[in-house]
Amino acid sequence: SGSYISVGTGIALGGQISVISKSYIENADIVFGIMPNSECDEWMSILNKNYVSLQPFYSEEKIRIECYQDMVSAIMDEVRAGKKVVGAFYGHPGVFAWVPHEAVRQALSEGYSAHMEPGISAEDCLYADLGVDPGNTGCLAYEATQFLFYKHAVDTSCLLILWQIALAGDHTLKTFEPNKSNIELTIKYLSQWYPLDHKVVVYEAPFLPTESARKEEIALRDLSNVSLSMISTLVIPPAKDLEIDTEALKLFGVSEQQLA
């Protein structure tokens, strides 16, 4: 009877996949995948000759969620046909990704065995490449458009990570191109909390061994002047020091001097 597993393949080609995820791919009857480039598609085809890219399901005519539903349907058709199906997604399959979660949910709801294996996400690479530890100040991470359109609390003493920064402010869910005026409005929105000369980093982890990480440090005001792509992530370092909560210290009977 059919089964389904969502696995992550990491960011850097070949080396960042877990041992168990690779084994699931090799032993599947069919593997569906979303890879960042043709080299990774080729790598998948070497691991399993029944590899099918989900890329053709993206269509300019449809809104994103309809494309995603078509991908889940394609996966579920094979599960229902009794096959051992694997969905392979670059990065971590459960991070800022709907299809890998939804396929597991649907398979489970129809009584099939299904689960997700974690992977190395762009955020994991970011901590390594930029040498920042999210535990130092705490870290907030948002999808850029959701950050703009919903009333999220901003804490400028934390590290702030904005995913899909190239599409910040896009409500069409149809485009894959950055829109300069939306990025200018994003700068304006962020300037409620951050000075325009605050240094931010445009980060892109390398997908191929021949590439190196993009770690472009710029003033916030220049965000609309640099190139942003579908793989850019914006990193905003803290703009102020952590503030001690004296009430909490009192409650726990701890003095400021006792804090290392």
Active-site positions read: 64, 68, 90
Contacts of ligand SAM in 188-227 (CB under 6 A): 203-205, 207
Measured from the CB atom, is 2 or 122 closer to ligand SAM? 122
Measured from the CB atom, is 18 or 29 closer to ligand SAM? 18
Q: Which stretch binds ligand SAM (CB under 6 A): 22-30, 71-79, 93-101, 172-180?
A: 93-101
Among the listed residues 121, 137, 145, 182, the single contact to ligand SAM using CB under 6 A: 121
Contacts of ligand SAM in 9-28 (CB under 6 A): 11
Half-sphere exposure of 210 (CA within 13 A, CB side): 1
Among the listed residues 96, 127, 189, 193, the single contact to ligand SAM using CB under 6 A: 96
Among the listed residues 76, 95, 103, 140, the single contact to ligand SAM using CB under 6 A: 95
Contacts of ligand SAM in 164-193 (CB under 6 A): 164
- Using the rule CB under 6 A, is 236 a contact of ligand SAM? no
Footprint of ligand SAM (CB under 6 A): 11, 91-92, 95-97, 121-122, 163-164, 203-205, 207, 230-231, 233
